Every structure is written in structure tokens, then in C-alpha cells.
Amino acid sequence: MSDDQNKNHAEPHVTFRKVQKSYDGKNLIVKNLDLDIQRGEFLTLLGPSGSGKTTSLMMLAGFEIPTGGEIRLNNKIINQVPPHRRNIGMVFQNYALFPHMTVRENLRFPLTIRKLGATEMDRKVTKVLDMVQLDEFGDRYPQQLSGGQQQRVALARALVFDPELILMDEPLGALDKQLREHMQMEIKHIQQKLGLTVVFVTHDQSEALTMSDRIAIFNDGVIQQIGSSTAIYERPANPFVASFIGENNALSGLVETVAESTCRVRLDSGVYVHATLGDGVVQGARTIVSVRPESVQLNVQSLGCANRMGGYVKEITYLGDHLRVRVELAGRKEIMVKAPAAEHKHRFDTGDAIHVGVNPEHLLALAPTASA
């Protein structure tokens, strides 16, 4: 492969450069967005309502025009290109199927718009119906299908014309939990099989962790952190990411000493702990120490931990494979612990004195105002 070919191969499929969006000319919903999306990547945009994730997706789809900056597809600026000329497949939460058309007619519609011949249309429709395992449902109408089947038809319609890119806006939000989890894996398998580039918007954290190659965490119109599921969960960039992804315990304190990759923190309760040093954390500054509930050890197991604190059991919730234990530490600070039920069931009760332990590698000191 030549140097030019290598360069082209490495180019992002989609780029956002200094992209802004305002609806009133004053308040920016999206602020100077810089983002590269690689070819064949499953990227999820995740964040609370109003964070800018859906607006960013709609700008990429062509349904919203950026107030400033550039969006490129295959290195070509598409800011002013209308949606139907972007060769992008779109899957919405409400599926947007035509109720008066059969499944096959719904799938033929985008091909008719593109003026394909009848034989080619039939071939593509048959192929995509097989892909989503709906071969026997082609002559049914949307209202004769279950929610999961309608979702498959919406996905098939987005795939049938071989688009450059697939965009999905909360496509599983209307499904029940079991079907939703099943469809997560189906979509991921199709994406991997076809090598598709997918940009997926959701507010569901577990959905993002399950499906994504990378996750971009949005808040207040800015990407706070972008990375793999593992990186986002285990090494959050700031307190917002730590609190937004999964469950998290946050303990405030002051950084007293720093040594290479660790630091010693005096918590507001007066207890000292050793923690892993996060970005932007410096000696003498305030910090928020983050720890996941499953990383906290209880009683006997806590004996070998570098950080050990006493407290009282406030509440115990049995959840089958694990217990959720709410513990009040010194200074009336509460933390949540996830403990294996087989190891801890019936070993303590509400009101009992208890010890919790956390090793420094599971305790992350974060700068309160840090941003990615």
C-alpha cells in the first residue's frame, strides 16, 4: 500500500470541527465540537437531556444546520447538503414506518426515491429482510408486528440502500427491558458483520457500555470525555463523568501530598486515604475522590486494604446475586457498597458497626472543575 493510500485509510469517516449550534443566536446548545468518527466504528453519544448529543446527531443527519464550524463526511463538507443527498441511514425511536405500506413496501420506498430498477429493489429488499430475520413478514403491515419486529423493519429500511453511515436516535427506547437487551446484541452483530459506521444516541448508560466501541459523554454542549467503555467507567476524566456513568461514591477532601501516580488525601471527615492521581489534581488543592460500589470491601475482606474506615450499616437491599449496603461513615457521609450475596448474606444487619476498605487503585482523586 502506498503512503497516499495509508493516509486515506487513516482518515476519519466523519469529522466535526469547531461545530456550534444555537437556536436563539445567544445560547449555544453545542459548543465548539471537535470529534473524529472512524470508519466501521460504533460510537455512542451519551448524556443527560439538553446536553447536545441529539442536536449533534441531527446536524450530522442534515436535519439541523450548524451555526458555525464544519462537518465533513469522507473529507467533504456537508453543512449545506440536504439529508436525502448525504447517503445516511436513520433509525428513530418511533420507527417512522408508513402504516399504509407493507413491510416490503416500506423497504422499497427509499430505493424508489433513488430510482432503482424493480429487479434490483427486490434483490436488496430480500437481502435485508433475511439479515434482520423477517423473511416471512414482508407482506404484513406495521400494526401487525410486535415492537421488536417494527424496530427490525426500521433498521432494515436504514440499511437497504447501502448507506455511508447509520445514525440511531434512541431506537430502543420504546422496548421492554428483555427485548431491548436482545436488540442491543442484534444491532451490534449486524454492525460488526457489515463493518458499518454507526453513531448512536442514548441516555441509557448500560446500553452505551454494552454496544459501543467508544462513548462520547456530553454535558452542557461539550464532550466531557471520549473513550472505550472500560476507560470511561474505570478512569473517568472528571466528577461529572464519574457520577453519570454507573453508580459512584464521591468523597470530598484536600490533597496533602503527591507522589508519582498516587496522592494522600485528607477527607472532610478527617480520615486520610491514599488514592490514584487523576488529571489536573495537584498538592494543596481540593479534590473529589471517586470509588465504585463494587470496589469497596466489607469487614473481614477489608482487613488487607490500604484504606480502611469504620461506619454503621444504614440499609441492606437483597438483589439476588449481590447486596446493596448503605454505610454511614464518619462525618455522616454515606457510601453505597455492592457485596456478593453468597459471601455476606446474614453476616451483618442494619445498625451494626462495620468496616469498609478500598485499595488506592480503586480510589481515583479527581479535580472538581476538570474537563476533558
Which H/E stretch holds residue 180?
helix 177-194
For the stretch 59-104, pLDDT in tens is 999 999 999 999 999 999 999 999 989 999 999 888 889 999 999 9
363: helix, coil or strand?
Answer: coil
320 with 272: CB under 8 angstroms?
A: no
Residue type, 328: E
pLDDT, residue 8, reads: 46
The confidence score (pLDDT) of residue 332 equals 85
pLDDT, average across residues 112-141:
92
Mean predicted confidence (pLDDT) in 175-187: 87
Report pLDDT digits (tens) over 277-313: 999 999 999 999 999 999 999 988 888 899 999 999 9
How far is residue 339's CA from residue 296's CA, in Å, rounded to a whole number? 8
* C-alpha distance from residue 245 to each of 110, 167, 216, 240 (Å): 37, 22, 11, 9
The model's pTM = 0.88
What is the average pLDDT score of the chain? Answer: 92
- pLDDT tens figures, 35-46: 999 999 999 999
Residue 3 in this model has a pLDDT that exceeds 60: no
Query: Is residue 228 exposed (0-12), middle (13-18) or buried (19+ Cβ within 10 Å)?
Result: middle
